[in-house]
Amino acid sequence: MSSMHFSPQTLVAVAVSIFLACPGLAQEAEPTTKKYALAELVGLALKSTPFLTAQDARLEEKTLSSAQARIWQGPSAGLLFGRTKQTEASGSRYELSLAQPIPLTGIPGLRGRLLGLESESLRVQRAASEVMVTLSVAQGAYEYAASRRKAAFAASRRKRFELIQSYLAGRVFATPQRMAESRIVTNRVKNLVAEAIRGEASYKASLEKLKTYVPLDSATYPDIDVPWLSGTHGLDEKELLNKTLTDNPELRAQKLTVQGAGLEKTLASREGLPDTSIVGSYENGQADIIGRSYGLGLSLAFPSWNRNHSGIKSAEQKRLAEERLLNYAEQKLKAELLRALVEYEAARQVVLKYPPETLAELEGQLKGADEGFRKGQVDLLTFLELDGSAAETYGLALDAQADLAAKAAEVLALTADRDALTKLASF
């Protein structure tokens, strides 16, 4: 019977090849509940998050309050009983009066309009919140998908090097070179264990952030499919600046606040005017004869001596303050947009360095290195160097995706783009 002899390098290579040939060993045995497309995840968030339903309730409350404020005050009635005396005769007497306030000053309408502006502001905020939820979920999904994929990659590398470490530790005779190789592999395993721990914590934390908006199963970790961002979509600064100054929800809400301050000044000036009511009366009394009288008149309250001058001045100062805040908000948004565009462009340029085929190419490089190592064409140290380089590039490519998604989301949020999800996928 003939015996076969294998070199130490060949045995290590065989161990690695067995590992790579078994898909179950290349990734964490982790239960998954469901695979979500990004649009499906966003739709679930928009449907179920209490943040949006609470805003719906607030909007309904303010709308009803606005309608109620426009209603005139109801009439008031008075009834008086007594006795009347005429010369030697006396008898019972009663008087009935009815007064209906007539808001000739238009105060109820002004109050209704003021609450209507508040309703419109809430409506603007509601639409902006929907965009915010959409982008927050999208950004979180990219962060989760990148973190989870990096963690799986780190786990597979750790297992690969643990196999190599086990073999190197079992060698009887160790030259100084082999001892150095063993130490390098041992250190690499320690680093990969730490990297796997951090990676697992990272994607689990990302999932918890997603649960703010999406009711996901806390016991398992879903597979979220996010489109690969190509980085080919440049942005027009002038176009986005005009859109921001027109559609930004913070700016629109502040413009409504300025309008409301103007109405408050008008309301303050009207409150200095006297109240008016139409009054009708009926009187019936009997002494020696039965007497009846009717009356219709106008009731006018005495005006206040100061005519609400202080209130008018206060309202004017508030209007001036809100206008200045509007100017400040415009300047602030311009600066924020320009900053966001600079950061977006930098993230886009980075993504361009990692085209969609990058990850597949890296996996192919590792496969080729493994084959070369198995055939004795690549030594262990070279294999280690290539593995480290591929892992670094793998991580940077995924980080670039998450970073570009975050920067694009910020730009889209400033413009409150209702088609944000579709546009994000095209970036």
Strands (E), 222-332: 223-225, 276-286, 290-300
Pairing of strands 223-225, 35-37: parallel
DSSP single-letter state for residue 355: -
Give the per-residue pLDDT at 173.
62
pLDDT beneath 70: ranges in the chain: 1-33, 82-91, 167, 170-174, 218-219, 285-291, 301-306, 373-374
The pTM assigned to this predicted structure is: 0.77
Angle, helices 380-415/176-210, rounded to nearest 10 degrees: 20
pLDDT in tens, 69-93: 778 777 888 887 766 666 666 667 7
pLDDT in tens, 377-409: 888 888 888 888 999 999 999 999 999 999 999
Instruction: Give the Cα separation of 105 and 251 in Å (integer).
Output: 32
DSSP single-letter state for residue 221: -
Q: In what order do the strands lie in the sheet with 89-101?
A: 76-86, 89-101, 276-286, 290-300
Q: Which residue has the tokens 């419109």?
A: 120
Rounded alpha-carbon distances, angstroms, from residue 351 to 230, 270, 357: 7, 61, 12
Helix and strand element counts for the chain (H, E): 11, 6
Amino acid at 111: R
Give the per-residue pLDDT at 73.
79
Give the per-residue pLDDT at 304.
60
Long-range pairs of 161-165 with CB within 8 A, sequence gap ≥ 24: 161/185, 161/188, 161/189, 161/192, 162/189, 163/15, 163/16, 163/18, 163/19, 164/12, 164/15, 164/16, 164/380, 165/189
Instruction: Give the Cα separation of 333 and 300 in Å (integer).
Output: 51
Sign of the C-alpha dihedral, residues 140, 143, 146, 147? negative
Q: Using an 8 Å Cβ cutoff, are 374 and 10 in contact? A: yes
> What architecture is domain 8-426?
Up-down Bundle (1.20)
Instruction: Give the Cα separation of 297 and 121 in Å (integer).
Output: 43
Q: What angle do CA 231, 355, 155 make, to 5 degrees?
A: 115
**Residues in contact with 102: Cβ distance below 8 Å, sequence separation at least 6, in sequence order:** 72, 276, 277, 278
Can you give the residue ranges of every domain in the chain?
8-426
Give the per-residue pLDDT at 86.
63
Q: What angle do CA 410, 226, 135 make, to 5 degrees?
A: 25
Q: Using an 8 Å Cβ cutoff, are 218 and 177 in contact? A: no
